[in-house]
Structure 1
């Protein structure tokens, strides 16, 4: 599975051919995003760019970097209204500051075997500019990170960055995530 946004989840056999071209397009978008991020990191190392802040979160056991412009509000989990006949990773609807948002357990979306979130879990709403009234359940929020101070980790198949403490961070494009067909199909 591609660690950045879980694009290589095995589709059901009847849909394999239809999903193959969509998956290829998603991989291309992800590669473009990763190339842009690497260029920004290299520009920052050469002093040609300003500091780039991203939001650091844990999803399951992995650390991810999210673009601040794609993230909205971070709130503690609130009561959910369950929605019948939905995917196991779709937790239901939450009323967050008067807006009904669909809530996705992102750890379970990326890895169906993932267990329940712990006490540090938070809801992260998506930026309104992404056009989807949705919040993500993340395992933990680590706060702002500067990707421009991190170094590329060339040891894995996915684009990852290492911070000064040796922690690996994987860029996650929420804009690409909300365009995934599987993400948009919450019904069974």
Structure 2
């Protein structure tokens, strides 16, 4: 029996029902661990600080986890007339309208290359104050920039992949990014 299974077995009371006190204790411990990881990420200390690896178009990017709200499957888009070609339209994600941006086109690249995984919307964190999502052709998951080799403005991982750091906070301060009208 694994330690996780042993812990769960000990949390059951009479008749196979879970012990509410044990459940609250586990929840409190989980919340404390999550808080420690978030604080480490904010200060840049500890192994908890990480980046999200994304493919946008044909390039790989690293985005700070604190700048990402969530990652969702693409929602149906409503086109908005008289906008830039890189502004794909509006999507309703959990009742919030988000502007969806094709960052590859914004950066002057050709249409995004299809990745092996399904495309995803990377929603900006609420504290950035910008209801927006980027279309990612693939999400690679968590990456640790500290373990990568710096080569100018890019990073190289152990597998030889090149990663470009991408700041969503800096992106929402760019005048061109904010002005989606033609």
Q: Which has the larger radius of gyration?
A: 2
Asked whether 1:160 is paired with 2:154, we answer yes
Could you say which residue in structure 1 is the equivalent of 2:103?
106
Matching residue within 56, 74, 77 for 1:77:
74
Matching residue within 83, 88, 111 for 2:85:
88
After superposition, where does 1:23-34 map in structure 2 within 5 Å? none
Structure 2: 5+ residue stretches without partners: 1-43
Instruction: Give 1:120 shift.
Output: 2.2
1:117–1:182 CA distance, 2 compared to 1 (3 A):
farther
Instruction: Give 1:169 shift.
Output: 0.7
Could you say which residue in structure 1 is the equivalent of 2:141?
143
Structure 1 residues 117-141: Cα deviation after superposition (integer angstroms, max 9, x where no partner):
5662110110001000111111110
TM-score of the superposed pair, with normalisation by structure 1: 0.69
Distance in 2 (CA, whole Å) between partners of 1:64 and 1:112 is 14
Instruction: Give 1:144 shift.
Output: 0.3
Distance in 2 (CA, whole Å) between partners of 1:117 and 1:163 is 22
Distance in 2 (CA, whole Å) between partners of 1:97 and 1:176 is 26
TM-score of the superposed pair, with normalisation by structure 2: 0.71
The answer to whether the 8 Å contact 1:107/1:138 transfers is no
Distance in 2 (CA, whole Å) between partners of 1:114 and 1:140 is 14
Could you say which residue in structure 2 is the equivalent of 1:181?
175
Distance in 2 (CA, whole Å) between partners of 1:77 and 1:165 is 29
Distance in 1 (CA, whole Å) between partners of 2:132 and 2:148 is 30
Distance in 1 (CA, whole Å) between partners of 2:69 and 2:138 is 15
Distance in 2 (CA, whole Å) between partners of 1:162 and 1:141 is 17
Could you say which residue in structure 2 is the equivalent of 1:171?
165
Structure 1: 5+ residue stretches without partners: 1-43
SS in 2 for 1:176: helix
Higher relative contact order (CA 8 A, sep 6+): 1
